[in-house]
Chain A
Amino acid sequence: MRAVWTIFVKDLRVEWRTRETAVSMVVFGILVIFLFNFSFNTGREETLRMLPGLLWIAFAFAGVLGFNRSFAAERENGCLEAVTLAPIDPGSIFVGKLLANLVFLGFAEAVMVFVAALWYNFSFVPALGAFAAITFLGTLGYAALGTIFGAVAANTRMREVMLPALQFPVAFWILVLASDACSDALRGADWKVVWGGIERVAGVSLVFTVASFLLFEYVLEE
């Protein structure tokens, strides 16, 4: 437990001093939302219908950007060897890294949602609880996969291509189910429908989080 906390705080401290990951995620996400607005040139009704999907695409791209940094930074300075040599369980490294990734992506998502609400004159407030719950659950599974695949991709050439190639097909259902559920929640659908969506996102996210946690030790070994 202490190891998890140490890694988590270390990642936050590094981030606080460099301000690289979270800032680049935010900028990239805002750019995606901005480009989307002009490449489709949709009317208000259509935009609101597409908004959840658009947000999840922005989350997905921004996430991949951050997950790549997460382990690449460790590798560049040879820190990963030291971390693996430390007498701690690989699971703790995974959880610590996952928590840090969750915080960065969560921060970037909050900014993106705020910007989207401003630009599209859309209030998230009526469905904020359900929207936040779905986004948190979806982000958890997505970040868990990003953490393990980030570690895998750090061992490859062309990791900028490798990570999305691993991440998107596997995380496909998290993205689809989460943006579907967000769409239901924001549309003001019946509570039962929204709850069903939350359950599905939670189920799929949990499966991938547990699987990534269990498999992580095989990625770290040298």
Chain B
Amino acid sequence: MAKKFPIGAHLAITLAWIVISLYMIFLYAPQELTMGEVQRIFYIHFSLAMTALFAYGFVFVGSIGYLWKRSKATDDFAFACAEVGFVFCCGVLVTGPLWAKPVWGIWWTWDARLTSTFILWLLYIAYLMLRAYVTNPGRTESLSAVVGTLGFITSIVDYMAIRWWRTQHPQPVIGGGPSSGLDPRMWATVFVTWGAFLCLFFYLVRVRIGIARVRREVSRLRQQWA
């Protein structure tokens, strides 16, 4: 992949794409009627959230791939996706309250989507903590693959359970999320911004995988010369 699509070109495309999406967010997309300018954070918030959610799916793919094929590459991929996904998930939890305060009047509520995002954040922490704390280095890959798989199952259970739970405890939720009545220009902005974030995500994942490879090479050389 590195030959077909050099990482420098990837970075250049990412930067250009981010500039385009910034233009679309602030100048192209029309102003929202009730929420006003503050609604523009939605494009970033939504893109971060979707990317963070997909990232745990990639962690799952990498984890299952490792348990199946036992290749370092799949483990590197899972770990890189978890680390970058965690950063994106933190972004969701920061941009969310910033938007909620002026629009809902509160920083936080235990609404379905907020709860499941918070659980996702905890799942990222569990995965990353485990990777840092395993005592026997040779066991890190399969243990974290197990946790990555169970974490992904949790996020699916989450998706279903939150509906049962919510039907039991109906609570009013105001606005938020991409409602069906979006202006076509808003839709375009949503997708362009999300694309930019996905591109950024994969750029960071590639950089992170590169670091993992270098690290492994260094420890191999160290053992060789020790």
| Residues of A in contact with B (beta carbons under 8 Å apart) | 145, 148, 152, 155-158, 161-162, 165-166, 168-170, 172-173, 176-177, 180, 200, 204, 207-208, 211-212, 215, 218-219, 221-222
* Stretch from B91-99, B118-126, B187-195, B208-216 at the A interface: B118-126
Q: Are B153 and A176 interface neighbours, CB within 8 A? A: no
Q: Are B154 and A152 interface neighbours, CB within 8 A? A: no
- Residues on A with C-beta less than 8 A from B130 are 152, 156, 162, 166
- Residues on B with C-beta less than 8 A from A166 are 126, 130, 147
* CB-based closest 3 A-B pairs: A169-B122, A156-B133, A173-B161
Q: Which residue of A lies closest to B140 (CB)?
A: A155
Q: List 17 A-B contacts (CB under 8 A).
A: A145-B150, A155-B135, A155-B143, A162-B130, A162-B133, A165-B126, A166-B126, A166-B147, A169-B122, A169-B123, A169-B126, A170-B123, A173-B154, A173-B161, A177-B165, A204-B161, A211-B150
Bound-complex Cα distance A165 to B129 (A): 8
- Residues on A with C-beta less than 8 A from B125 are 165, 169
Bound-complex Cα distance A221 to B70 (A): 13
Bound-complex Cα distance A207 to B146 (A): 15
- Residues on B with C-beta less than 8 A from A200 are 161, 164
Q: Are A180 and B168 interface neighbours, CB within 8 A? A: yes
Q: Are B157 and A207 interface neighbours, CB within 8 A? A: yes
A1 to chain B, nearest CB (A): 25
Contact A162 to B157, CB < 8 A, known contacts A157-B135, A219-B146:
no
- Residues on B with C-beta less than 8 A from A176 are 161, 165
**Is the C-beta of B57 less than 8 angstroms from some C-beta in chain A?**
no
B114 to chain A, nearest CB (A): 14
- Determine chain B's interface SS by DSSP, over half rule: helix
Contact of B150 (CB < 8 Å), options: A156, A170, A172? A170
Besides the contacts A148-B150, A169-B154, A212-B150, what 8 more A-B pairs have beta carbons closer than 8 Å? Answer: A156-B133, A157-B133, A165-B129, A170-B151, A170-B154, A200-B164, A204-B157, A211-B153
Contact A219 to B150, CB < 8 A, known contacts A156-B130, A165-B126, A176-B165:
no
Contact of B142 (CB < 8 Å), options: A156, A173, A212, A219? A219
Q: Are B154 and A156 interface neighbours, CB within 8 A? A: no
- Residues on A with C-beta less than 8 A from B129 are 161-162, 165
**Is the C-beta of B200 less than 8 angstroms from some C-beta in chain A?**
no
Bound-complex Cα distance A177 to B119 (A): 15
Q: Are A173 and B143 interface neighbours, CB within 8 A? A: no
